[in-house]
Structure 1
Amino acid sequence: MRTYVIGDIHGHRDKLQAAHRLIAKDRAEQGDANAPVVHLGDLVDRGPDSRGVVDCLLAGLEHGEPWVVLKGNHDRMFSGFLDDPDYHDPGLRAELNWTHPRLGGAETLASYGVTGVGETFLSDIAAQARLKVPVAHRDFLAGLETSFARGQALFVHAGIRPGVPVERQTETDLVWIRAPFLEDTRDHGVLVVHGHTPVEQVTHYGNRLNVDTGAGYGKALSAIVVEGQVAWLLTPRGRVPLRHE
C-alpha cells in the first residue's frame, strides 16, 4: 500500500516540480506508476508563485495523474477572502487577517496580478482578485478534501483531534489544530501524516509523521513515501529511512 506525500508547498512551483521528479525517480525504481501522490495542503501564500502551483496541480489532475490534493488553512483563507473580503477564518487570531504580512496573502494575490494590498480597501482588492483569479482555480480550492485514508495511514493537513472518530473531525481542526494533537502520544489507530507545523526535518513520532519542513519560510519542500506505517524521505540519492523518535 504505497503512498507518496508532498508537504506544505506555499507557492513554490519550482520546489513542487522538484518533489515530483523525486517521486518519478522512485516510481521508476519500484516499477509502480499507480500509487497516489498526496499533497498535504497549503498550496498558496508566502512563496512567489501560488498561481503557478495551482496551475501545475490542475494540469496534472486533468492529465490523469493519480494525485490527491488536500486543503490547508491557507487555502481556506484564500477561498474565504475571494468570497468575502471581511471573512475571518475561525482558526485565525482575531487581530490578524489573510492579507497580514505574516500570512503571505499579498504574495498570493501578486502571483495573480492583483496589486494595492495595504494601500487600498480590502473590498477593492477582493473585487480585483475576483476578476483575475480564474473560476477554475476558485472552484478547485473551494472543493479540496480535508482528509485521505489509505491502508494504515490517514493524511491530513494539520492533524486530528485525539479521541474523536475521523468521521466526526471538524474541518477547522483538520486544517488548523496544533497543541492538542502534537502533544498527544497515544496510538490513533493509524499513522497520521500531516504538515502545518514546520520542523527542521521530516520527523516520525510513532503515531504521526510531520512532513512540513518549512518551504513557506525558504526551506525545503519534502517528499516521502509511506508503505504501511513505514516511511522514507526521497532524496536525489534514493530513499532515506525515517525512524521513530
Structure 2
Amino acid sequence: MSRLLRRLIGTRRNPPRVPDGCCVYAIGDIHGRSDLLEKLLDRIWGDAPQSANTLIFLGDYVDRGPSAKSVMECLVQLERPGWDIVRLRGNHEEILLEYLKNPDVYQAWRSFGGAETLLSYGVRPPMFSDAEELRRVHAEFMEALPRAHLALLNGLSFSHSIGDYFFVHAGVRPGVALDRQMPEDTLWIRDEFLSCDASFGKVVVHGHSPSEKPILRPNRIGIDTGAYATGTLTAVKFVSDRCTFLSTDDK
C-alpha cells in the first residue's frame, strides 16, 4: 500500500492482546486497604477461567490506609495453584525502603502516609522531630517488621511485560525504549507520561495517578481509583484481545 493511500484510508492496527490460552489480571494501588483487597481477590478467583492465569500487583501496598501490615502479609502468603503472581514496586515501597536505611527519611515519609503504616505494625509514630525520637521509632519499626515482609520489599520488580502490555507502577519516560527505562521513572513519573499521546511500543498498564474511574487510552490503561480515599479498588482483566474491569468497594 502506498504512503498516499495509507493517508487517505488509514491503516488498520490489530488490537493489543495477551497470548492465547492465558488470562491476566492487574490490581491497582491498594494503600493499606486489606478489606478491599480481600473482596477483589475473591472476585478474581471466581471470575478466572480454568487456564493459565497471571495476577500482577502494580505497587503502593502501604501508607495512607489503615492496614498496610495486613496487605503485606497477604502478598507474602499469596499462592494459588495454576497462577503466576507478580508483585511490582511502587514509590511508596521505595520510600519505605529508604526509611529503613535512614530514620531521618521519616520527615518525608510522613507526608506520604507513613504514620498509618507505622500504626498498622503497632508502632507509635514520632511525636516530635528530634533525632532521639526518630531513632526510637525507627528501632521499634525494624523490630516489628517481619523478615518476610522485608524480603518481599527488597524483591519487588520494577516492571513486567506480557504480550502487547507493559505493566509498571507509575508509567514510562516517553521516547525511551521500554527495556531502557530508569527505575526512578517507573516509580515516580506523572505529567510527561500522562500527557503523551504517542505509542510507547506496548500499552502501558499503570497505577500511581488516581482517577475516579479507570483510564482507557490507546497507549495506556490507568487503574488507580484511589482506594484509600474512595473505597474503590480496581483490577483490569485481559483475555486474548479483550480488556474488562473489575472493582470492589467498601459499601
Match of 2:73 in 1: 55
CA distance in structure 1 between the partners assigned to 2:117 and 2:67 by the alignment: 7
Letter in 2 for 1:147: S
Gaps of 5+ in 1: 89-95, 237-245
**Aligned-residue CA RMSD (Å):** 1.9
CA distance in structure 2 between the partners assigned to 1:56 and 1:152 by the alignment: 29
CA distance in structure 2 between the partners assigned to 1:208 and 1:43 by the alignment: 21
Match of 2:50 in 1: 31
The verdict on how the C-alpha distance between 1:140 and 1:57 changes in structure 2, with shifts beyond 3 A counting, is: same
Match of 1:72 in 2: 90
Moved more, 113-122 or 61-70: 61-70
- Checking the alignment, whether the CA contact within 8 Å between 1:43 and 1:50 is kept in structure 2 is yes
Residue-pair matches, total: 224
Give the counterpart of 1:83 among 101, 107, 110. Answer: 101
C-alpha offsets along residues 104-142 of structure 1, whole Å, 9 cap, x if unaligned?
100001111111323462222111111111121112112
Moved more, 76-85 or 46-55: 76-85
State the Cα distance separating 1:58 from its structure 2 match.
0.8
Find out whether 1:224 has 2:197 as its counterpart. no
State the Cα distance separating 1:188 from its structure 2 match.
1.2
Larger Rg: 2
- Checking the alignment, whether the CA contact within 8 Å between 1:45 and 1:216 is kept in structure 2 is no
Match of 2:43 in 1: 22
CA distance in structure 2 between the partners assigned to 1:79 and 1:63 by the alignment: 30
Give the counterpart of 2:60 among 39, 42, 66. Answer: 42
C-alpha offsets along residues 151-210 of structure 1, whole Å, 9 cap, x if unaligned?
010000000001111222111100100011000000112110000000110110110000
Find out whether 1:99 has 2:114 as its counterpart. no
Letter in 2 for 1:170: M
CA distance in structure 2 between the partners assigned to 1:116 and 1:172 by the alignment: 27
Q: Secondary structure at the match of 2:37?
A: helix
Q: Secondary structure at the match of 2:53?
A: coil
Percent of pairs with identical residues: 38
Q: Which has the higher helix share?
A: 2
State the Cα distance separating 1:35 from its structure 2 match.
1.1
